[in-house]
Structures are given as structure tokens and as C-alpha cells.
């Protein structure tokens, strides 16, 4: 598998993993958390409404009891006077306490005095009837005759659905402030849970609720004052407040502020997904640029080197340190490799004894010269140089001295030919060959003679044939630049011709130069 495919696979898996992680976080952590939070808030709203309605209920009960256990009221029932009413039962006091109606009854449950708020005017008579409806046992708002006869202190309260509205009543037997003594009647206070009260409670409890007549079919609802916890999130929850005496009921509906769980819509989901895809794609591009492409270039460079024996340097300044290190190490290795290569190439064309070019180097150079001769008609010359009587030298002075003599001869050849476009090489044994990119006959003759003389002047002892020093014989062939049918001849033909001249030089008596033109 390629690194590119592998990283694509890796990043696709990453994309899948991130998406699954986000979905899991959303469904298993975020949503349950939010759900609990909303449920808590809805429960708090219910608790607040419960407290507010309870407070409104309990405050009326307390107030009713306070008024009922009051000596002046006891006296008033015995002797009803306007003076007491004006002085102690002013309308404003009841209005301020949100009391909509007050009924003072005697021990026969006959109405002695009442107060009703303006809002109740239209239903005044029926309310009075309701309060004093003693014939129906279930409407036991007032103390029963039996209770009063037995002087039983009583206090009762409850809700009544009255003309489509909800009222809360509280009734307490009237008796002296000591709490002992004769019961002289009862006091009933009524509070209407009307729009104004709902508004007041809403402002007080900061919850929004409404009250409505209940439908028969929904009577299976929970009781509002049962204080059962809310179990499900809903836009609103409803409860019943039942009539204390019959089956009628009022439905209390609490409209919640936070109503639903946040839904992940398609636009958000696609935006999140696209963002992840974008991030992963950018990561892939970065990974490709910073890691994969350098590796591909490294690989190409190494492959190229095996194809054409040439290794190019790696680019540097990589962003990733490890890649930069690999690049640096590769370039260092390349330097060493090139140095080694040069060394090996030099060794391949260098004569190990004399240090000058060997026969392989000569052949390589000759190809260039022959090619120019064939294609561009540029002439040249070849000299074959052979040390005279060298066997004798070796025999007389030893092989090691023979080696030194060969080194001296080679050095001399290189030195003489240095100014010219020529290559001096060791052809083999005590034989040397010079290829020279020049074909001026006289010039060549002159330089060949110079070589011969220079070697003799080295004065390397070799006493033979009447001579004292090591000498050389030289056979030269001058190849004309314009020669008919040159393509037919190769370097060996020229070399063979030069060898023939060398042979002639040896025949002539050695220490001689023979020059001839190459002829076909
Ligand atoms: N010391 C030494 N001798 C070598 C080397 N290569 C060849 N020779 C010797 O060179 C000698 C060449 O001898 P011959 O071919 O008989 O020729 P010559 O004695 O030079 O006689 P002519 O060429 O006829 O003048 C042999 O004795 C070889 O052993 C070398 O690398 N070192």
C-alpha cells in the first residue's frame, strides 16, 4: 500500500471517528444534560407556582382566623352597629389584602354583614346563596348546626368553582380572643383566583400560568397540590384544582419558558460535517506536502541514480525536522558516494605504477579523437614509445629499479606533452602511447624528438649497445584531417600503423624516432 493511500485511509478513518465522536457526545452527553436542565427548570417553575398559590391560600386562612378570634367582632354579632363596620371593617383593608368577599354569619348561619368587591357585584346574590347553602351537606362552608350546638371550634377552607371562576374560601368560628368562650357565629373570607390575582402571582413567582374550566375528559389529570414531580419535558403542564365539595374542577396550566430540546437541523449538521471534511482535507494536503511528497522525491532520486548512475541532491528547508534530517543525511551520503565514485572511476583509468592514464583511459580518449576524425575531419597523431633494452635493465639493476625507471619515463612524457592537447598513457609493460590532437607533421616530429632527448637526458643508467642511459624508440603516425574513406578505419588500425613505425625505429638501432603519415 502506498503512503498516499495509507494516509487517505487514515484520515478517512479519522473523519469517521470524529463524526461518530461528535454524534455520540451530542446524543449521549449533551442532550441528556440539556434534558435534565430543562426538566429541572420546569420542575422549579412548578414549585414556584405551587408556593405562590399555597401562599395565597394560606395567607387567607391566617387572616380569616385573625379576624374571627376578635372580641370586637364577637360584640358586633351580639349588637351589630354601623360604627364597628365603618371603624374596623373598611373596604380598603380587604382590597389591600386581596380579599374579594367577607361574610359574617351568626350561630344560625344567618348573614349578619358582608363585604363583596365590586368585581363580584354581578354574582353577588348567587355567592351569598353559595356561602349559605347549608341544605346540601357537601357545601359545608359554614359550621354545621351540630358543631355550633356542641360549641366545636372549626376552621375549614377549600376551592370552589364558582361561575367559571375559581375561588378560595376560608371559614372560622367566631369566638373571643382568648380562644375560649361561646361561639357566636362564623367568619368567611373569599379570594377569587381571577385575572388580577393570576397576574400578581405570575409577577411574584415569575412563572406564566393560566386557569380554565376543565373538560370532563381530562379529569384524570394530577392534582395541582399533590406536588408530584414533573416527569417529561413539555411546552406546558396542566393540573387540576378540584372543587372542595363536588366534582367540578379548574385546570391550571403552567406555560414553561424552556420548552424543547435543541434540535440539530440539517444545515447545522451539514455545516459541521463540511467543516470536518475541510479540516481533514487540509490535514491531508499538509501531510502530503510536508511528508509524502519529500519521500516520493527521495525515492525518485534514488531510482534515477540506479537508472542513469547519477544521483541528484535533495532539496533542503523542509518543514518537518525528521524529513529535513533525512534530506541532510541523504545529501551527506551523496557527497561521500560521489567522492567514492570519482575515486573508483579514477582508479579504473589510472595506471597503478606510474600514476598516468592506463590503456582503458587511452581507449576512452581515443573514441573522442576517432569520432572527431570521422565526423569533423579533424586529424591527429599517435606515438608509440618503447623503452629500449629494458629486459637488460631489469636483469642488471633489478625489477624495483626497473619500476622506478618506468615512473621516471612516464613523468617525463607527461611533462613534455603538458602544453599540448594530448594524452600520455601507459600502453602496457615498458610501452607508452600518446594521442595528440594535432597533425602538423613537422611539429610532431619536433616534439617526438624532444621526448626522445628528454628521456635520454634523465640519465638513468643502462649500459648497452654503446649507450650509457635509458633511451626510448618512438614510432609516430600522423593522421591527416582530410583522408578519403576515414570511416573505414578505427583506432586499432592507426595504432597498428604506429607500432610498425616503432618496429622500424627498433630496427634502425633504437633511440630513434620514425614518423609516417597514415595511409590507406
Ligand atoms: N621492472 C619492470 N619491468 C617490466 C615491467 N613491464 C615489463 N617489464 C619488463 O620489460 C622487459 C621487456 O623486454 P623485452 O620485450 O624483451 O624488450 P627489451 O628488453 O626492452 O628490448 P627491446 O624492446 O627490443 O629494446 C621484460 O623483461 C619485462 O619483464 C614493469 O612493470 N616493471
Max Cα distance, the chain (Å): 185
Please report where in the chains the cell 597498428 appears, as a residue.
Answer: 496
Rounded to 5 degrees, φ, ψ at 242 are -85, 150
β-partners of residue 461 are 469
Question: How crowded is residue 305: how many other Cβ atoms within 10 Å of its Cβ?
Answer: 14
- Average pLDDT on 290-306 reads 77
- Run of H or E residues at 199: helix 195-205
Residue 436 Cα to ligand 1 middle (Å):
25
- Average pLDDT on 411-440 reads 95
Specify the residue with its C-alpha closest to ligand 1, atom 16.
391
419-444 CB burial, b ≥16 within 10 A, e <16: eeebbbbbbeebbbbbbbbbbeeeeb
Which atom of ligand 1 has the smallest separation from the CA of 395?
Answer: 27
Which atom of ligand 1 has the smallest separation from the CA of 388?
Answer: 25
Specify the residue with its C-alpha closest to ligand 1, atom 31.
429
Which atom of ligand 1 has the smallest separation from the CA of 392?
Answer: 19
Say whether 359-517 and 56-255 share the same fold.
no
Strand 431-436 to strand 461-464: parallel, antiparallel, or no bridges (unpaired)? unpaired
- Please work out whether the CB of residue 406 comes within 6 Å of at least one atom of ligand 1: yes
- Please work out whether the CB of residue 351 comes within 6 Å of at least one atom of ligand 1: no
Question: How crowded is residue 192: how many other Cβ atoms within 10 Å of its Cβ?
Answer: 22
Closest by CA position to 518, among listed 506, 431, 489:
489
- Please work out whether the CB of residue 397 comes within 6 Å of at least one atom of ligand 1: no
Residue 354 Cα to ligand 1 middle (Å):
15
The band of 210, judged by pLDDT with boundaries at 50, 70 and 90, is confident
- Average pLDDT on 499-519 reads 95
Residues 6 or more apart whose CB falls under 8 angstroms from that of 360 comprise 348, 349
Residue 432 Cα to ligand 1 middle (Å):
12
> 197 pLDDT exceeds 80?
no
The topology (CATH level 3) of 359-517 is: Alpha-Beta Plaits (3.30.70)
- Please work out whether the CB of residue 402 comes within 6 Å of at least one atom of ligand 1: yes
Residue 504 Cα to ligand 1 middle (Å):
18
More confident residue, 28 or 127: 28
pLDDT given at position 354: 96
β-partners of residue 434 are 383, 424
The band of 126, judged by pLDDT with boundaries at 50, 70 and 90, is low
* DSSP for 469-501, written as a single string: E--EEEEEEEEPSS-TTGGG--HHHHHHHHHHH
The band of 125, judged by pLDDT with boundaries at 50, 70 and 90, is low
pLDDT given at position 249: 77
- Please work out whether the CB of residue 288 comes within 6 Å of at least one atom of ligand 1: no
CA distance from start to end of the chain: 65
Q: What is the pTM of this model?
A: 0.50
- Average pLDDT on 338-352 reads 83
Could you say which DSSP state residue 81 is in?
A: -
- The rounded distance, in Å, linking the Cα atoms of 230 and 223 is 12
pLDDT given at position 120: 73
- The rounded distance, in Å, linking the Cα atoms of 520 and 517 is 10
- Run of H or E residues at 159: strand 155-162
Best of 408, 429, 509 to mutate for ligand 1, by most ligand atoms within 8 A of CB? 429
28-56 CB burial, b ≥16 within 10 A, e <16: eeeeeebeeebbeebeebbebbbebbeeb
> 477 pLDDT exceeds 90?
yes
Highest averaged pLDDT of the listed ranges 8-17, 75-84, 194-203:
75-84
Which atom of ligand 1 has the smallest separation from the CA of 394?
Answer: 1
> 406 pLDDT exceeds 90?
yes
- Please work out whether the CB of residue 403 comes within 6 Å of at least one atom of ligand 1: yes
- Check: CB of residue 448 under 8 Å from CB of residue 498: no
For residue 403 the three cell numbers come to 619500476
The band of 62, judged by pLDDT with boundaries at 50, 70 and 90, is very high
Residue 386 Cα to ligand 1 middle (Å):
9
CATH number of 56-255: 3.30.450.220
- Please work out whether the CB of residue 389 comes within 6 Å of at least one atom of ligand 1: yes
pLDDT given at position 138: 46
More confident residue, 311 or 15: 15
Could you say which DSSP state residue 258 is in?
A: S
Percent of the chain residues topping a pLDDT of 90:
38
How far lies 324's CA from each of 287, 318, 328, 330, 336, in Å? 15, 5, 6, 10, 18
How far lies 154's CA from each of 31, 150, 167, 259, 272, in Å? 53, 11, 20, 44, 68
- Please work out whether the CB of residue 429 comes within 6 Å of at least one atom of ligand 1: yes
pLDDT given at position 393: 97
Domain residue ranges of the chain, discontinuous segments joined by + = 56-255, 266-348, 359-517
Which tens digit of pLDDT belongs to each residue from 88-113?
899 999 988 889 899 999 988 888 99
Which tens digit of pLDDT belongs to each residue from 353-380?
999 999 999 998 999 899 989 888 899 9
Amino acid at each position: 500500500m502506498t503512503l498516499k493511500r495509507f494516509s487517505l485511509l487514515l484520515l478517512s478513518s479519522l473523519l469517521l471517528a470524529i463524526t461518530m465522536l461528535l454524534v455520540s457526545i451530542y446524543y449521549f452527553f449533551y442532550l441528556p444534560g440539556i434534558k435534565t436542565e430543562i426538566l429541572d427548570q420546569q420542575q422549579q417553575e412548578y414549585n414556584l407556582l405551587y408556593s405562590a398559590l399555597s401562599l395565597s391560600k394560606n395567607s387567607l386562612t391566617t387572616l380569616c382566623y385573625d379576624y374571627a378570634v376578635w372580641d370586637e367582632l364577637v360584640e358586633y354579632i351580639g349588637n351589630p352597629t354601623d360604627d364597628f363596620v365603618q371603624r374596623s371593617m373598611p373596604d380598603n383593608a380587604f382590597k389591600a389584602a386581596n380579599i374579594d368577599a367577607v361574610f359574617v354569619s351568626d350561630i344560625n348561619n344567618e348573614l349578619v354583614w358582608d363585604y363583596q368587591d365590586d368585581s363580584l357585584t354581578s354574582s353577588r346574590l348567587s355567592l351569598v346563596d353559595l356561602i349559605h347553602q347549608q341544605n346540601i351537606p357537601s357545601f359545608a362552608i359554614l359550621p354545621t348546626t351540630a358543631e355550633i350546638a356542641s360549641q366545636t371550634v372549626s376552621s375549614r377552607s377549600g376551592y370552589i368553582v364558582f361561575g367559571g371562576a375559581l375561588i378560595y374560601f376560608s371559614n372560622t368560628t367566631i369566638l373571643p380572643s382568648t380562644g375560649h368562650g361561646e361561639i357566636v357565629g362564623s367568619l368567611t373570607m373569599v379570594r377569587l383566583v381571577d385575572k388580577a390575582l393570576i397576574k400578581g402571582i405570575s409577577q411574584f413567582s415569575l412563572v406564566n400560568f393560566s386557569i380554565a374550566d376543565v373538560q370532563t375528559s381530562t379529569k384524570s389529570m394530577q392534582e395541582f397540590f399533590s406536588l408530584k414531580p414533573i416527569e417529561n419535558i413539555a411546552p406546558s403542564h396542566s393540573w387540576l384544582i378540584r372543587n372542595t365539595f363536588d366534582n367540578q374542577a379548574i385546570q391550571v396550566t403552567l406555560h414553561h419558558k424552556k420548552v424543547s430540546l435543541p434540535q440539530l437541523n440539517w444545515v447545522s449538521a451539514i455545516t459541521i460535517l463540511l467543516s470536518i471534511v475541510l479540516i481533514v482535507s487540509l490535514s491531508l494536503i499538509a501531510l502530503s506536502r510536508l511528508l509524502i511528497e519529500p519521500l516520493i522525491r527521495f525515492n525518485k532520486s534514488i531510482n534515477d541514480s540506479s537508472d542513469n548512475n547519477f544521483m541528484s541532491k535533495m532539496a533542503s528547508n523542509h518543514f518537518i525536522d525528521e524529513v529535513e534530517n533525512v534530506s541532510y543525511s541523504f545529501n551527506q551520503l551523496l557527497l561521500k558516494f560521489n567522492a567514492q565514485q570519482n575515486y573508483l572511476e579514477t582508479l579504473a583509468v589510472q595506471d597503478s605504477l606510474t600514476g598516468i592514464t592506463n590503456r582503458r583511459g587511452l581507449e576512452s580518449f581515443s573514441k573522442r579523437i576517432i569520432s572527431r576524425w570521422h565526423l569533423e575531419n579533424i586529424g591527429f597523431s599517435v606515438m608509440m614509445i618503447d623503452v629500449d633494452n629494458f629486459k637488460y635493465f631489469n636483469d642488471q639493476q633489478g625489477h624495483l629499479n626497473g619500476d622506478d625507471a618506468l615512473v621516471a619515463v612516464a613523468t617525463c612524457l607527461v611533462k613534455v606533452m603538458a602544453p599540448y592537447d594530448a594524452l600520455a598513457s601507459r600502453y602496457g609493460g615498458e610501452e607508452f602511447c600518446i594521442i595528440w590532437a594535432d597533425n602538423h607533421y613537422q611539429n610532431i616530429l619536433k616534439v617526438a624528438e624532444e621526448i626522445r632527448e628528454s628521456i635520454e637526458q634523465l640519465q638513468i643508467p643502462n649500459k648497452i649497445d654503446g649507450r650509457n642511459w635509458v633511451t626510448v624508440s618512438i614510432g609516430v603516425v600522423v593522421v591527416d584531417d582530410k583522408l578519403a574513406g576515414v570511416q573505414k578505419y578505427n583506432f586499432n588500425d592507426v595504432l597498428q600503423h604506429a607500432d610498425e613505425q616503432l618496429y622500424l625505429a627498433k630496427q634502425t638501432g633504437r633511440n630513434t624516432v620514425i614518423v609516417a603519415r597514415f595511409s590507406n
